[in-house]
A and B are shown apart, each in its own frame.
Chain A
Amino acid sequence: MTGRLLAIAYNTFREAVRDRVLYNLILFAMLMVGASLLVGQISLEINRIVLINLGLTAISLFGIVIAILIGIGLVSKEIEKKTLYTVLAARPVRRWEFIAGKFAGLVMTLTVNALLMSVGFFAAVLYVSHGLGRVDLPLLTAIYFILLEFVLITALALLFSTFSTPIFSSIFAFAIFAVGTFSEDLRGFAQMATGMTRWVMSGAAYLVPNFAALNVISRVAHDAPVEPRLILLNTLYVVVYTGAVLTASVWIFERRNLK
């Protein structure tokens, strides 16, 4: 089981790495970090704040775009190109193993991608701050939260990919990311409403993924600490939410006729 899952994950990773778009995005992200250095030098007082905001936001957004663009095709593209037939038809591969392998492969890709971007980012911070110290540790937490974001959005893109076309999947995925970014505002609105509306809005607010809680970029840019409790809660939240989304993906995919 593990061998098959790892083989599928590695193949997904290899496919993404051999896809030139990925290299371009990494390069583009590096350019963004370079630009942030330039901006940082112009505004003398706040150079570090601008650099951290811009750098981490670039790492996050590029990862999200890659996660969605690749994620939405993970299953549908394999069905469309019929590559899935030679994997599921005559190999002892269970459908859940295929989903789990695809998910793991893309998360692996995004992690490697984010780590490469992070190397460039820390080099830029080192350049601006003339050194790295304990004060920079929260940056690692912010990057960890960005990785959690990737895990969540990959699971969602994969879910859409199991039943929808790539175009609709990308619309759904970007929409849910946008709504999830403002999920705390949604919860605020729900608190202000009354009666049935309050229940419905609260339900919707808690159902959409809470990307807002995973964004601590501006906090770490201002050297504010990130409490260990938030790290724990965010980790648990992403594990549970991703588990539920992957279970739903498997449930749908297990029942699908692969025509």
Chain B
Amino acid sequence: MIAIEIQGLEKSYKTGFFRNKLKQGLKPLTLTVTEGEVFGYLGPNGAGKTTTLKLLLGLVFPSGGSAKILGRDLGDIDVKRQIGFLPEQPYFYDHLTPLELLDYYARLSGVEPRDRKRQIEKSLSRVGLTDSGKTQLRKFSKGMLQRVGIAQAIVHDPKLVLLDEPMSGLDPVGRREVRDLVQELNEEGKTIFFSTHILSDAETLCDRVAVLNKGELKGVGVVADLLREVSGDVEVVWSGAQAIPVLSALGARCHATGDVVRAVLPERLLDTAVDALRRNQGRLTSVTPVRATLEDYFLARIGDENPKVVNA
């Protein structure tokens, strides 16, 4: 089943003193997120990630297009019982304690009174705040507030969790904890849609990612497939410097250390390169695929004019 189905969703803002200029915050976006997956929504600051989330959650209204969440149209307020949301840099009512805040949100989400206490305690314990449940939020650090933010997003046991930059402002330990929590939630069957510009987190966590830049979708697909698309290089190591000119002529980037030579070349040229080595008495040591990172893909895509879809 599809968790999020976006069809040509777009948003334009009127700007300027006379509100006569039109700025496109999000160009028509078509995207689907399947139930049970961890979906990363990547893009540099100002790419339109938060705008997409606000459109999906009804905080801003679309200029065109449509979207469905868990099979129901935007504007169907009852579907929100099944959604958890962590805003970017969350702020909360700082006159409240985490226990009071979660009780307030649980009531708003319609959690049954008999389940309320248990769910509040469970979500506080999941983010490691059981001991701080009665401290006013104004005394909390940024990292602790982020944890409260995650607790409020899951207090009503939603099916779909939307996280806007969940790792921002966290130290490495905090980031690791959030990553583990996202994985745990996913193992419980929840769909996770999170926006981030921290690519290593997305690479570790996501089944699929979409890349957005300047309000436009630049690519979407399974992480491994995307990486294959930007790499496809192999590293060849051999002994025998006499083969260097031949391989350089093939387009390989060669680096020699004494008699040992390393060369990086496109995978399609591997057979030709190995033949050339044999002809020139080169002794092959190893052939290793060069692994691209999501950052390579990201940087390649944000400068690209045409979106790429790989098994989306």
Q: Nearest B residue to A12 by beta-carbon distance?
A: B93
Cβ contact within 8 Å between B87 and A88:
no
B57, B61, B95, B96: the one within 8 Å of A89 (CB): B57
Cβ contact within 8 Å between B87 and A92:
no
Interface residues of B in 100-141 (CB under 8 A from A): 100, 104-105, 107-110
The count of chain B contact residues (Cβ–Cβ below 8 Å) is: 34
Is B262 positioned at the interface, with any CB of A under 8 Å from its CB? Answer: no
| Chain A residues closer than 8 Å to B58, beta-carbon distance | 88-89
Cβ contact within 8 Å between A91 and B95:
no
Q: Nearest A residue to B109 by beta-carbon distance?
A: A91
Q: Give A14 to B109 CA distance when docked, in angstroms.
A: 19
Cβ contact within 8 Å between A90 and B110:
no
Q: A86 with B54: in contact, given A4-B108, A259-B60 (CB under 8 Å)?
A: no
Contact with B along A1-35 (1 / 0, CB 8 A): 00110011001001100110000000000000000
Cβ contact within 8 Å between B80 and A90:
yes
| Chain B residues closer than 8 Å to A15, beta-carbon distance | 93, 95
| Chain A residues closer than 8 Å to B100, beta-carbon distance | 14
Q: Nearest A residue to B92 by beta-carbon distance?
A: A83
Q: A90 with B92: in contact, given A3-B107, A85-B59, A257-B60 (CB under 8 Å)?
A: no
Interface residues of B in 153-177 (CB under 8 A from A): 153, 158, 162
Cβ contact within 8 Å between B107 and A257:
no
On A, residues with C-beta under 8 Å from B are 3-4, 7-8, 11, 14-15, 18-19, 81-83, 85-94, 255, 257-259
**Given A4-B110, A90-B158, A94-B77, 20 other A-B residues pairs in contact with their CB atoms under 8 A:** A4-B107, A8-B108, A11-B96, A14-B96, A15-B95, A18-B95, A82-B91, A85-B59, A86-B87, A86-B149, A87-B105, A88-B57, A90-B109, A91-B109, A92-B77, A92-B109, A258-B54, A258-B59, A258-B60, A259-B54
